[in-house]
Amino acid sequence: MADISIPGIKSRFDTDKIVEGLMQVERLPKERIERTNETLAAQKANWQNLGRRITQIRDDSRLLYSYQNPFNEKFAASNDEAVLSASASREAEAQHHEFVVKQTASADRFLSKPLSNDFHVPAGNYGFSTGSHDISFKFQGGNLQEFVNMVNRRGNDGVRAGLVAVQKGQKTLVMESLVTGEENRLSFSGDMIKLAVQTGIAEQSAAEPKITNIKALSSRGGDSINEAISGDGMQTPPMSDSRISLGDVKPSRTLILRFETSVSSAADGGLSAQKDGAALPADAAAETAGEEAAAAETAPPDARVDNLSVLSLELSDGTSVSLPPIKDSSGFSQNQYQLFQLAGGKEIVSLNINNNNTHRSVSIRNVQLFDPAPEGGDIKPLHPVSTAQDAVILMDGIEIQRPSNTIDDLIPGLTITARAANDAPVNIDVETDTEGIKDAVITLVGNYNRLMAELNVLTRSDESVIRELTYLTPDEQEELRSKLGVFSGDSELLRFRGRLQQIMTSPYMDASGQEHLLSSFGVTTDARRGGGYDPSKMRGYLEINETVLDDALKSNTDTLRQIFGRDSDGDLIVDTGLAYALNHAVQPYVELGGVIAAKTASIDSRIASNDRRIETMDRQLIAKERTLKTQYGELEGAYTRMERMSNSLEQFGKQTSNNR
């Protein structure tokens, strides 16, 4: 049985090795196609990487001439950021201003007296208000921490509470408004008033309204008198003015100005007696009586003026606000005005009577400032850490008042933030953001050099193009070596490379018609002069002389902007310039359906076609290998049968010989 051979199980002639050798020859066409696919995949990756480099150039060039270009960016610099900081948007103009922060805006912040840790806050309805923002909630009762948690949950962005451990076993309750400004005072309502008094946050104050009687300085025809405006009041004759000083009133939301007025008719001759608003002495009137009588015979009579809009408020900025007409009544009638709405946040200096009537006198009396709800309601804080107040800032000598420390409505595009009060002036300068422009130029040059390096490596087989890139890491150098000369026969890439060099070295015209090279701004293809021939300088790489670029940005920013992109025909669309030309040169390569997309699509198609051929070959190779194994198995079986027959004949011969 030692000579029995079973095909597929044991081979006496090593048919598996013979079949494998034959199959290796059969697989050669398939392996060639697989290597072709690997080469195509590497080419596709190179095209895709090149596309990414070109896309970066497109984005960088668009940035330098689009609406969002850095030449329109502004930078606001403060010489004392700790007092006043500023930021500028693109809409801001280059300018200089001097500010003095007299007062920063703050919010109410009240402390309680020390309370024991087991202090119990009773159940009730607790209410808070900060200006126009009201907060109320129902509390079921509990300790201080539970009450604080409830306030903070329901306070939203208006009110916040906290606890401070002032000493062992005792804590202080802190109540604060989160909204700054004099108009946003923190006040309490409901059971919060009782809790505030109980915890020492506040005390009950008099509920009576605050009334201020005005003693005024009145000016009549140049004479000044100081009198209390009461009783029969102060009279302003026809064609004269009076002024009642209010003492720089800062109107609150509840402050009211009230007074009484009456109007009396003067005789027909009253006009001449009060000419120009002056009350003449008796002897002076007698001296001029004859002159007036003579003039009356020839001069036409003056027109009669009847106008009851005689009252106005003079504001701190020099402007005035007219009050509604008074009643035409000989008896005194009361007038009352809400000052906050009239003044618009400004201080009120005086109440003025401008009586331009020719036959009426105006009397005023009992001038009062009346506050029916004094600040703080009916409680007064006992331990205020800070009180609600507006920011008060002088800008170039003009006083500005705002409820917030961040102010963005003074100058278009400029936002200032008051951080601390200080008598020293703070200078704010708004300038073009030259650092942003410089960064954009450096980014463009850097990505342009990377693209040129990629093109040089792909289209050349000389390894010196890699060695001269001294900024590369060893891994990056090795990666580039695998790409060396991959597209050496691609004339389209050579033309593209030359086009890029031409764009970067060509002169461009400004609005005045003068041509400029990018090299005049420190960006050149060869920064070293007189240093001998250097082949790397001929590759198209750019270098930046930062000193020259910085100087140009300080003195000639607008020209550089026009070099990168300019509207030449007045249609408000950029149509010329370096960045504009660069974008249009690279756009066909990276746009949808462009050169890069077409190249990669063609490679994908070839790879897919080869993959289908490989699949067919795989099926054919499997069938071929099966056929060879079958054939060699049958051959080995036939040989085994012949060997058996030979053995049988040999045995038969031996038996025949023995029988003889």
Task: Convert the pLDDT of each residue in 124-138 to its tens digit.
Answer: 999 999 877 889 999
430 contacts: CB under 8 Å, gap ≥ 6: 74, 75, 76, 86, 88, 92, 93, 94, 95, 96, 413, 414
Nearest Cα neighbor of 577 from 634, 480, 509 is 509
Per-residue exposure over 278-293, b if at least 16 CB sit within 10 Å of its own CB, e if not: beeeeeeeeeeeeeee
**How many alpha carbons lie under 13 Å from residue 420 in its C-beta half-sphere?**
8
CATH no. for residue 315? Answer: 2.60.120
467 and 590 together in one domain? yes
Does residue 639 sit in the same domain as residue 517?
no
Per-residue model confidence as pLDDT tens digits over 93-109: 999 999 999 999 999 99
Report the distance separating Cα 14 and Cα 16, nearest Å.
Answer: 5
pLDDT at 2: 41
- Is 180 contained in some domain? yes
How would residue 530 be classed by pLDDT, with cut points 50, 70 and 90? very low
Question: Which two structure tokens, joined as six digits, stand for 292?
Answer: 């007036």
How many domains would you assign to the chain?
A: 5
Whether 295 is covered by a domain: the verdict is no
Among 34-48, 180-194, 239-253, the minimum mean pLDDT is found in 239-253
User: Distances in Å between the alpha carbon of 173 and those of 46, 65, 136, 186?
Assistant: 68, 58, 18, 15
Tell whether 241 is covered by a domain: yes
Indicate if 576 and 446 belong to the same structural domain. yes
Q: What per-residue confidence (pLDDT) applies to 227?
A: 45
Both 52 and 90 in one domain: the answer is no
Please check whether residue 252 lies inside any domain of the structure: yes
Mean pLDDT of 335-364: 85
Range of the domain at 84: 74-105+390-432
Banded model confidence at residue 123, pLDDT cuts 50, 70, 90: very high
- Res. 402: pLDDT tops 80: yes
Are 168 and 114 in contact by the 8 Å Cβ rule? The answer is no
Say which range, 41-55, 323-337, 367-381, 521-535, has the weakest mean pLDDT: 521-535
How confident is the model over 256-277, as pLDDT tens digits? 888 889 998 865 444 433 444 3
Whole-angstrom Cα distance, residue 9 to residue 22? 20
CA-to-CA distance for 89 and 75, rounded, in angstroms?
A: 8
> Do residue 225 and residue 332 come from a single domain?
yes
Nearest Cα to Cα of residue 574 among 585, 563, 589: 563
What average pLDDT does this structure show over 374-384?
Answer: 68
Q: Which of 205, 228, 246 is the last residue of a domain?
A: 205
Q: In percent, how much of the chain has pLDDT > 70?
A: 85
* pLDDT score, position 646: 85
pLDDT given at position 631? 86
Rg over CA atoms, the chain: 49
Would residue 579 count as lying in a domain? yes
At 43, the amino acid letter reads: Q
User: Where is the domain boundary, 577, 597, 617?
Assistant: 597
Same domain assignment for residues 360 and 233: yes
Position 5 scores a pLDDT of 45
In a domain, 463, yes or no: yes
CB 359 within 8 A of CB 268: yes
Task: Specify if 379 maps to a domain.
Answer: no
Give the pTM.
0.61
Q: How far is CA 359 from CA 269, 293, 322, in A?
A: 8, 19, 21
Q: Is 217 found in the same domain as 320?
A: yes
Angle between helices 546-555 and 557-564 (to 10 degrees): 100
In a domain, 124, yes or no: yes
Q: Are residues 186 and 306 in the same domain?
A: no
Q: Which of residues 597, 628, 650 is at a domain's end?
A: 597
Q: What is the DSSP letter of 404?
A: S
Please indicate, yes or no, whether residues 450 and 580 belong to a single structural domain of this protein. yes
pLDDT > 60? residue 335? yes
Average pLDDT on 466-479 reads: 86
Same domain? For 592 and 522 the reply is yes
Average pLDDT of the chain to the nearest whole number: 84
Average pLDDT over residues 386-408: 93
Shared domain check, 151 and 101: no
- How much is the pLDDT for 179? 92
447 and 423: one domain?
A: no
